[in-house]
Amino acid sequence: MLTSIAGRSVIVTGASKGIGKGIARVFASKGAKVLVVARDLKAAQAAADQIKSAGGQATPCAADVTSQADMERMAAMAVDKHGGIDVLCANAGIFPAAKLKDMTAEQWDEVLNTNLKGTFLAVKACLPAMKKKGRGRIVITSSITGPITGSPGWSHYAASKAGQLGFMRTAAIELAPHNITVNAVMPGNIKTEGLDGLGPDYLKKMSDSVPQKRLGSVEDIAYSALFFASDEAAYITGQTLVIDGGQVLPESLTALEEMDS
Ligand code: NAP
């Protein structure tokens, strides 16, 4: 099962840390050639080195998803170093908190430019190489925040993550004739470096609100992305998969409190 990833060229944006790093590591462990993309070259290099020391294939790439020129350079690098593009994991994203009363137009633009426009630019840049191969897999990292839930301080983030799904559904139709699928993973609260700044009390409250009573791991997301990226998932497009330990299920605090102990 899912052996089709071996030898494939995979681009992961936002792969120097967190979920993207986990996706890159898991795909490389299955034999993929992974382009590890982040703005900070040193961090991308360090993540690629870790993959290589574990016996995998990885190339670092410093690129900003908000820049069309960078995304085109990223795609060209994957073609040049790894022989084409089979899979794009459009994962890079930011989540700086700001409540509506304090949020500036610049903060709104930064989040939408990175999370939503960045997804579009990464996808657009990879299309010529995927069309040339006659197949492709695009896996977008969305979130439960926006498409399903809300969270004070993250209205811009929620809009960007819901927007990714609207983009995905139309892209999936446009790209279906090219044998390119577009799907999205929707993580709940995943333990990454990006959450470290929120502090231990906040993280404890977050895990308490999950029926499985733990935050997700980056591997929990990576294996779902791996499924969407596989040949076995060829007939699935425009779909989402929630990976959240049951976080969106309880209809009330009582529902959480009355779980079996
Ligand atoms: P993270 O630990 O903060 O890592 C973010 C990664 O994205 C880093 O590699 C960062 O590297 C890169 N990045 C940020 N801005 C970029 C840009 N403009 N261009 C290229 N790379 C950029 O974040 P994470 O928690 O793993 O989140 C990754 C994705 O999962 C995001 O899309 C996020 O919305 C989504 N998500 C996360 C959670 C969660 O609980 N952690 C839940 C739901 C969804 P540089 O800074 O060097 O560029």
Full-prediction pTM beyond 0.95?
yes
- Over its C-alpha atoms, the chain yields an Rg (Å, rounded) of 18
Residue ranges per domain, the chain?
9-259
Pocket (CB within 6 angstroms of ligand 1): 13-20, 38-40, 43, 64-66, 91-95, 114, 118, 141, 143, 187, 189-190, 192-195
To 5 degrees, how large is the angle CA 197–CA 200–CA 201? 115
Q: How many helices (H) and strands (E) does the chain have?
A: 10, 7
Interatomic CA distance for residues 115 and 22, integer angstroms:
19
CA 206 vs CA 40, 135, 245: distances in Å: 29, 39, 12
Q: Which atom of ligand 1 is nearest to the CA of 64?
A: 19
CATH, range 9-259: 3.40.50.720
Question: pLDDT 10s per residue in the chain (261 long)?
Answer: 566 899 999 999 999 999 999 999 999 999 999 999 999 999 999 999 999 999 999 999 999 999 999 999 999 999 999 999 999 999 999 999 999 999 999 999 999 999 999 999 999 999 999 999 999 999 999 999 999 999 999 999 999 999 999 999 999 999 999 999 999 999 999 999 877 788 889 899 999 999 999 999 999 999 999 999 999 999 999 999 999 999 999 999 999 999 877
Residue whose CA lies nearest to ligand 1 atom number 31:
93
Interatomic CA distance for residues 134 and 154, integer angstroms:
38
Mutate which of 39, 196, 221 for ligand 1 pocket (most atoms within 8 A of beta carbon): 39
Structure tokens given for 128: 């010529």
